[in-house]
A and B are shown apart, each in its own frame.
Chain A
């Protein structure tokens, strides 16, 4: 399945894109997505141990299973305030 991932903050800056597209086997988990992102976008390496994945408006855990229509975002730890 082809997944569209929105990037924010430093992740967006390092990748040089607001969206990236990744190809994963059906029913892959967030852990698999992290691996593919790291392999496909080595420029994210400085952040990769800390990158967070959200599906819709919720944080996803590594075990979360992805679906092709998921609204996926990837970003560094938040700092707000």
Chain B
């Protein structure tokens, strides 16, 4: 399952969607909005996306993971819009027969997502300033998964 949403991510349902009798291993990754980044305090994040391309790239990532690992099921969902501290911005769930593959595939999916899926975030700091996060141009920030 691949989805962009403006609603709260139901990661319990997402995790259930990849479970199966064939899967001995299920890994769930959650990216969540973090308060402190390099000494600056975040109040909220805004996510923007190019939806058609983001969905196509997420589908490519699923294919990539299925080619490399014995994936049984993959689910990826990403929020867009305004997120408060502690909210889940992205969830990736993967199931495989054995544990090493599930960890590796989940790691690969979230790392690649951040490299190629056209979704951007803007920090809203508590001092009233805002800043787009762009790799290579500003410090990495925004969620616990970095």
Contacts and interface: CB of A to CB of B under 8 A. Distances in A.
Interface of A: 6, 8-10, 12-13, 47, 50, 54, 56-59, 73, 75-81
Interface in B109-146: 110, 113-122, 132-137, 140, 142-143, 145-146
Contacts of B28: none
B123 to A, nearest CB: 10
Contacts of B116: 59, 78
B56 A78 contact: no
B52 A78 contact: no
Contacts of A12: 48
Contacts of A10: 120, 122, 132, 134
Contact of A8 (B48, B113, B117, B140): B48
Nearest to A71: B52
Contacts, number: 84
A55 to B, nearest CB: 10
A57 B116 CA distance: 11
Contacts of A75: 50, 118, 120
Given A9-B132, A10-B134, A80 B50 contact: no
Contacts of B135: 77-79
B53 interface: yes
B78 A80 contact: yes
